[in-house]
Amino acid sequence: MKRFYTLLEKPWRDYPFALVPFHLIKEMKWHKAKHWIIDSGVEIFAHGAKDYPAWFFSRYEFYAKQYAEIYGDRIWVVIPDYPDDYRNNPIPHNVHKTLVNIKRFHVVKNVNWVYPLQSDYLNPQNFHDCCHQVMKYCPERVAIGTVCKTRNIEFIEKCCMMARRHFPVSHIHAFGATLKALPRILPFIDSWDSTAYFTSSAYSQSGKGLCRNQKEREQYFRDYLVRVNEILKDFNSQMRF
């Protein structure tokens, strides 16, 4: 079954698949999800950060082990990665730095780690090289981080195809996949996430841009799920032939 994950939000705390940024990890107790993915929270790089805070890695490991003990197989944890898709804040050597983190966290046992796949901005060859490096860890789960902010559907599709080629039996998650890209990448991925329904791209019922209140955001989320289900229905019907 294909899974769509979303952020913790009060109106949809019963939604079964939740994506949890690390800074919101303690709010998990209020959520009734069947399954969680904990993410390191790369949004800090959108605001100019060049690296995670000095305290971050030891605390991230501590909470990963603690929550894995509490939730067991119901929780996966993404190894901290470095994006290169914020044009106003490129991270030099982001793939190398991501691979260093993978090497560090790979040895931490009893956590369902998700291994991130990165590349230089819109660089498929670099993405291929990263996949090749991550293969040696034989991950059960990988996440494509390099497609999160781009709207380049060809690049998104190419990365998802490449990931499936390198990891034929792994669970593949795509961060931030767009609805336009979704029909083309569903054959290659197992899950994805999006927060499009409450970002600057979210429309209001009045048609004047950003959803201005909770009611409009709830309606946008419901509309978004309808569209997701339509795409999944089309995909499943095609798979029968």
State which H helix or E strand residue 85 sits in.
Answer: none
CA distance 166 to 172: 11
Q: Are the CB atoms for 176 and 148 separated by under 8 Å?
A: yes
Q: What is the pTM of this model?
A: 0.91
Give me the pLDDT at residue 210, please.
55
Q: Is residue 209 part of a domain?
A: no
Q: State the residue range of the domain holding 71.
A: 3-194
Give the Cα separation of 44 and 50 in Å (integer). Answer: 9
Report pLDDT for 195: 76
Q: Is residue 13 part of a domain?
A: yes
pLDDT of residue 221: 82
- Residue 206's pLDDT is 42
Q: For residue 67, what pLDDT is reported? A: 96
Q: Is the dihedral of CA 194, 199, 202, 204 positive or negative?
A: positive
Kindly state whether residue 153 falls inside one of the protein's structural domains: yes
Confidence at residue 204, expressed as pLDDT on a 0 to 100 scale: 43
Paired sense of beta strands 75-78 and 141-144, if any: unpaired
Looking at residue 120, which CATH number applies to its domain? 3.20.20.105
Residue 207 belongs to a domain: no
102 located within any domain: yes
Query: Are the C-beta atoms of 22 and 38 separated by less than 8 Å?
Result: yes
Q: Are 38 and 18 spatial neighbours (Cβ–Cβ below 8 Å)?
A: no
Model pLDDT, residue 50: 86
pLDDT, tens digit only, all 241 positions of the chain:
899 998 877 667 788 999 999 988 988 888 889 999 999 988 788 778 889 999 999 999 999 999 999 999 999 999 999 988 766 667 888 999 999 999 999 999 999 999 999 998 889 999 999 999 999 999 999 999 988 778 889 999 999 999 999 999 999 999 989 899 999 999 999 999 987 665 544 444 444 455 566 777 777 788 888 999 999 999 988 765 4
Q: What is the rounded (10 degree) CA torsion for 77, 147, 168, 36?
A: 30
Inter-residue contact 108 to 65 (CB < 8 Å) = yes
Q: Tens of pLDDT along 125-167?
A: 999 999 999 999 999 999 999 887 788 899 999 999 999 999 9
Q: Residue with structure tokens 């040696």?
A: 136
Task: State how many domains the chain has.
Answer: 1
| Residue 219 within a domain | no
Q: Tell me if 212 is assigned to some domain.
A: no
